[in-house]
């Protein structure tokens, strides 16, 4: 009996470990307009806190089907040359949207690279407070 390859159509979720959940939430919520899907409710009782223990005090955002979570457990900072993750890219629809995103990053004081033409698409690179490499990409 042979092995069958797993078939998947997309990423369901990604969870990033961060050092300071409030700082990371402020960053991601100022950059992106993602609704919070799950977090421990304020004034939650012990049973509710236990029910949400898988969040580890973090938050999960809904990107329109794909989920992104933040988990506050990291004690060091990100580096893309270590095993695990190089960067995360978020898809935009056009160069104009990418340029608008660059202006938004400028408005909220987030350092970024210039928009780059990499052949089949355009990219905009920047980093979160834990130095996690992020990218916005738009097709040509």
Convert the pLDDT of each residue in 72-99 to its tens digit: 987 787 888 888 889 999 999 999 999 9
Every domain range in the chain assigned CATH 3.10.180.10: 9-75, 79-140
Cα R_g (the chain), whole angstroms:
17
The DSSP element (H or E) to which 27 belongs, if any, is helix 21-31
What pLDDT, in 10s, does the model give residues 96-135? 999 999 999 999 999 999 999 999 999 999 999 999 999 9
**Going by DSSP bridges, is the β-strand pair 88-91/133-139 parallel, antiparallel, or unpaired?**
parallel
Residue reference for tokens 């987030």: 110
> Which candidate, 121, 97, 105, 90, places its Cα nearest to that of 113?
105
Assigned fold of 79-140: 2,3-Dihydroxybiphenyl 1,2-Dioxygenase; domain 1 (3.10.180)
Q: Which residues are registered as beta bridge partners of 126?
A: 112, 134
* φ, ψ (nearest 5 deg) of residue 95: -60, -40
pTM for the structure as a whole = 0.88
* φ, ψ (nearest 5 deg) of residue 111: -65, 140
* Domain covering 9-75 in this structure, CATH number: 3.10.180.10
Structure tokens at 77: 């900072």
> With bands split at pLDDT 50, 70 and 90, how would you rate the model's confidence at 34?
very high
């Amino acid at each position: 009996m042979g092995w069958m390859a797993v078939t998947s159509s997309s990423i369901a979720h990604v969870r990033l470990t961060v050092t300071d959940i409030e700082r990371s939430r402020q960053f991601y919520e100022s950059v992106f307009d993602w609704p919070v899907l799950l977090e421990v409710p304020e004034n939650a009782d012990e049973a509710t806190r236990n029910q949400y223990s898988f969040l580890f005090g973090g938050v999960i955002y809904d990107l329109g089907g794909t989920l992104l979570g933040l988990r506050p457990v990291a004690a060091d900072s990100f580096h893309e040359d270590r095993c695990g993750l190089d960067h995360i890219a978020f898809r935009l629809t056009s160069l104009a949207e990418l340029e608008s995103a660059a202006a938004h990053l400028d408005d909220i004081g987030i350092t970024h690279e210039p928009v780059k033409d990499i052949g089949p698409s355009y990219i905009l690179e920047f980093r979160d407070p834990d130095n996690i490499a992020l990218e916005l990409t738009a097709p040509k």
